[in-house]
């Protein structure tokens, strides 16, 4: 059989040639290195080189079908797949909007916000509705973060936000970061990543707004561009950086819909084996979405749906098998480039509540494994009335309850959920 580097070179094309951008995963470091050298020698890239996963990204042509098929089935190759585009999960939505139960939406009706004895009810929508009685935003209070702060605020736990970057802000302390899309700066040029970072880790000093875990070590991984989009290879590159730099929690508020990536899943599996808790937003496809987006659909992530101030599941939040928990995701006020604040909605906003919550639990007990974090969040969640598990998973996270059992690191791994 022809050696793998010759096959790859015969299929590779220079940038701008009209060929398709592909990711090639190798089974060994040696074949990965040989192919990288050969592509570089011939001026064919690679576009991206991910050493930790033995992945090259380059432009391939299928014009010579026989050689391309040989490459696909070569014993040195793990996979060849498209380098899909992935997008941030944020959207504008009116504040205080009453959502309907899943059944009511299907019937074409709406329901009023409900307040039940023994349940957390809706906060008033008059006046400064973003603020709670505890001096935090309603959403941070709703997940019980201030109650955990008596024990810890996430002190020193490294949390990475893989997103559009993070902009300088007086309410954020950025410990470091990386740009995986071809630049040197990890500064946010979109706003999405800064907003997500504030929900997870805003400092709340000098009268500003605290996030869920104000004392974590916050890292920016810029893998999405100014439009909130990026290639899967850039995400994988970011995950590889997180593994090499000792991150404990990764937040991914973006998704791939209508396609699947084994390369992305394998990268997340590798992060999980290293003890990293990976949190992902479910998507904004709504009740008729037909499923949740990748990477939230992967069993190795904690998949997060968006809830509202009335303790309902947002109409835009994707439904489907694999959701783990819900967190606030409508009308969330958080940090924005330029030193100010902005209110956004989306499962993008829900996910960092869970990422910050995971950091709080790890600060209490650093020995917790990712499956134990997931189990504690699920076992202590509040089931929201009128919504199925395909909408909310185990329900709304309650961090104070999860923290009470966070000292125990024992227990069997939860059953893997399928896609």
Q: What is the pLDDT of residue 376?
A: 97
- Give the active site residue among 74, 89, 169, 192: 192
Which segments of 295-331 are extended strands (E)? 302-307, 325-328
Q: Look up the CATH superfamily of 88-404.
A: Peptidase S8/S53 domain (3.40.50.200)
What is the average pLDDT value for the chain, to the nearest integer?
87
Mean pLDDT of 160-172: 98
65 pLDDT higher than 60: yes
Active-site annotation holds for 192: yes
- Contact in structure between 110 and 117 (CB atoms under 8 Å): no
Does 16 score more than 50 pLDDT? yes
Q: Does the domain made of 4-83 have the CATH classification 2.60.40.740?
A: no
Tens digits of per-residue pLDDT, 68-112?
A: 889 999 999 999 999 999 999 876 544 434 455 555 555 554 433
Residue 240 is among the residues annotated as catalytic for this protein: no
CB 395 within 8 A of CB 106: no
Range with lowest mean pLDDT among 1-5, 83-87, 376-380, 403-407: 403-407
Please compute Rg for the chain using Cα positions: 22
Q: Tell me: the pLDDT tens digits for 284-319?
A: 999 988 899 999 999 999 999 999 999 999 999 999
Catalytic residue from among 348, 351, 374, 391:
348
Give yes or no for a contact between 265 and 311, defined as CB atoms under 8 angstroms apart.
no
pLDDT score, position 209 = 94
Residue 383 C-alpha from the chain's centroid: 22
Q: Tell me the C-alpha distance between 66 and 38, whole Å.
A: 21
Q: Where in the chain is the domain with CATH 3.30.70.80?
A: 4-83
Structure tokens at 20: 């398709």
pLDDT at residue number 122: 31
Q: What share of the chain in percent tops pLDDT 90?
A: 76
Least confident of 68-82, 210-224, 265-279: 68-82
pLDDT value for 262? 93
**In terms of DSSP H, where are the helices of 73-165?**
102-107, 138-142, 145-148
Q: Are 230 and 86 in contact (CB under 8 A)?
A: yes
* Confidence bin at 132 (pLDDT 50/70/90): low
Pick the catalytic residue from 76, 83, 102, 163.
Answer: 163
CA atoms within a 13 Å half-sphere pointing along the CA-CB vector of 66: 2
- β 277-281/302-307 pair status: parallel
Interval 167-185 mean pLDDT: 96
Residues of the chain with CATH 3.40.50.200: 88-404
Is 225 labeled as catalytic in the residue annotation?
A: no
For residue 237, give both structure tokens.
Answer: 């590159």
Is residue 61 predicted with pLDDT exceeding 80? Answer: yes
Element (H, E) at 335: strand 332-336
What are the tens digits of pLDDT across the range 141-157?
999 999 999 999 999 99
């Amino acid at each position: 059989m022809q050696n793998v580097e010759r096959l790859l070179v015969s299929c590779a094309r220079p940038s701008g040639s009209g060929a398709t951008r592909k990711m090639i995963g190798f089974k060994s470091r040696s074949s990965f290195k040989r192919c990288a050298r050969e592509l570089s020698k011939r001026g064919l890239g690679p576009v991206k080189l991910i050493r930790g996963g033995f992945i090259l990204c380059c432009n391939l042509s299928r014009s010579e079908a026989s050689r391309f098929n040989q490459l696909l089935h070569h014993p040195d190759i793990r996979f060849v797949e498209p380098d899909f585009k992935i997008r941030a999960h944020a959207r504008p939505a009116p504040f205080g909007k009453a959502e309907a139960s899943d059944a009511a939406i299907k019937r074409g009706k709406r329901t009023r916000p409900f307040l039940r004895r023994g349940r957390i009810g809706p906060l008033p929508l008059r006046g400064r509705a973003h603020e709670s009685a505890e001096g935090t935003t309603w959403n941070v209070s709703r997940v019980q973060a201030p109650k955990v702060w008596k024990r810890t605020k996430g002190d020193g736990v490294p949390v990475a936000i893989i997103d559009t970057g993070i902009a300088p802000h007086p309410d954020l302390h950025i410990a470091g970061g990386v740009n995986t899309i071809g630049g040197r700066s990890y500064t946010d040029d979109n706003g999405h990543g800064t907003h997500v970072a504030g929900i997870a880790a805003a400092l709340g000093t000098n009268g500003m707004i605290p996030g869920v875990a104000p004392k974590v070590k916050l890292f920016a991984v810029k893998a999405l561009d100014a439009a909130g989009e990026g290639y899967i290879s850039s995400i994988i590159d970011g995950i590889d950086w997180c593994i090499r730099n000792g991150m404990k929690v990764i937040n991914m508020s973006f998704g791939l819909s209508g396609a699947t990536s084994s390369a992305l899943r394998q990268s997340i599996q590798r992060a999980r084996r290293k003890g990293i808790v990976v949190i992902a937003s479910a998507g904004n496809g709504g009740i008729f979405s037909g499923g949740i987006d990748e990477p939230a659909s992967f069993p190795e992530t904690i998949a997060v749906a968006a809830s509202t101030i009335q303790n309902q599941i947002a109409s835009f939040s994707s439904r489907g098998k694999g959701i783990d928990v819900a967190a606030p995701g409508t009308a969330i006020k958080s940090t924005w480039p330029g030193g100010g604040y902005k209110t956004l909605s989306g499962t993008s906003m829900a996910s960092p509540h869970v990422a910050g919550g995971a950091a709080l639990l790890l600060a209490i007990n650093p020995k917790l494994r990712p499956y134990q974090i997931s189990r504690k969040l699920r076992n202590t969640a509040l089931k929201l009335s009128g919504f199925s598990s395909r909408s909310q998973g185990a329900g709304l996270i309650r961090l104070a309850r999860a923290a009470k059992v966070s000292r125990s690191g024992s227990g069997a791994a939860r059953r893997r959920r399928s896609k």
